[in-house]
Amino acid sequence: MADYAVGVVGHRALVDGATSVVVLSPHLDDAVFAVGAFIASEAAVGIPVVVETVFTGNAPAAPTARHHRAFSDYSVRRAEDDSALRILGASSRRLGFRERLFRPPPLRTPLHIFRTPPTPEDVESIEVAIHETLSDPGVAVLAPLGIGNHIDHVAVAVAALRCAVGGGRILFYEDFNALSERWRRRHPIARTAPFRWRDAPGWASPVTGLGMEAMSFVSAGPASTDYLGRAVLDEFEWVPCAVPAAGHEQVKIDAIAQYHSQTGILGGERQLSAMIRRSLTRRGGEVVWRLNRRTPL
């Protein structure tokens, strides 16, 4: 049980009336790690699901630093993503933006990828792409909330928030970094629905879990909602929903296992699987947020 009542809602009820679903993924794996069971659930009942990945542009041709190599081979990463999405029953669309790790100016250290700048980067171009997706009146869009302050995740979240505030049909999912309860509690929205510390997913794999909690201390800078000012908090009600895995837990785990280039960095497949299973059990499923405009008094 959570300290805060997170309502449980079925995957179809979450996107009631939608004839197709687009899940915005900052990188080639983020959507699957975060809402893979939801994607599989929708596809299983015949709803077309497209994972629209934003940052898929090739890394520079110059030699890549050793600690960047797992992220820089896009031929490998695209193939992994193709395999994962086949398992889930989804298709892909790739926008071709270049992720911050490979954009100038170079970061002083890779850890600064979790330190957001005063002004978010690439937001306008991403916002245009989201508006194009929303031009289909039957589509429901899921976007990352930006938990963890990864620069790329926050850029996608800010672009989606701008569209949502303007009336777009967008829901927000909790990023993979939300497996760290401390990272969740640092985000202005997620911290309004905290889970008990003893229910944290990291207890399923303490070494990996502690590593994630330690990483949460390096993040700094504005959160995704901070860039929009008080309006996104004062004028809107944020409602958390737990979407049960509904028999698709193993499908999600199998899809995640396809990302061989990434799972080792994140602690290993067995450790990740244990943490994700615990998260689905203790949190009631994959946590997604609705954004509702408040009714004037």
Residue 97 and residue 58: Cα distance in Å, rounded?
A: 9
**Identity (one letter) of the amino acid at 16?**
D
Query: Would you say residue 23 lies in a domain?
Result: yes
Per-residue pLDDT of the chain (297 residues; tens, 9 = 90+): 344 458 889 988 999 889 999 999 999 999 999 999 999 999 999 999 999 999 998 776 554 555 566 677 888 999 999 999 999 999 999 999 999 998 889 888 889 999 999 998 889 999 999 999 999 999 999 999 999 999 999 999 999 999 998 887 899 999 999 999 999 999 999 999 999 999 999 999 999 999 999 999 999 999 999 999 887 888 889 999 999 998 999 999 999 999 999 998 889 999 999 999 999 999 999 999 999 888 765
Q: Other C-beta atoms within 10 Å of 57: how many?
A: 15
Rounded distance, CA 189 to CA 65, Å? 35
pLDDT, mean over the chain: 91
Give the model confidence (pLDDT) of 204-259 as tens digits. 999 999 999 999 999 999 999 999 988 788 888 999 999 999 899 999 999 999 99
1 is a domain residue: no
Q: What is the pLDDT of residue 121?
A: 83
Cβ neighbours for 231, distance < 8 A, ≥ 6 positions apart: 165
| Number of domains present in the structure of the chain | 1
Residue 2 resides in a domain: no
| pLDDT tens-place string over residues 177-194 | 999 999 999 999 999 999
Q: What is the pTM of this model?
A: 0.94
In angstroms, the CA 147 to CA 174 distance is 7
Boundaries of domain holding 154: 7-293
DSSP run (H or E) holding 165: helix 151-165
Tell me whether residue 124 is exposed, middle or buried, using C-beta atoms within 10 angstroms of its C-beta: 0 to 12, 13 to 18, 19 or more.
exposed
Q: What is the pLDDT of residue 174?
A: 98
The pLDDT value given to residue 169: 87
> What is the predicted pLDDT for the residue at 1?
36
Instruction: Quote the pLDDT of residue 3.
Output: 44
Q: Residues 190, 174: contact at Cβ < 8 Å? A: yes
Q: Where in the chain does DSSP place strands (E)? A: 7-8, 20-25, 49-55, 91-97, 139-144, 170-173, 236-243, 286-293
18 within a domain of the structure (yes/no): yes
CATH number, residue 260: 3.40.50.10320
Phi/psi for 287 (5° steps) reads -85, 125
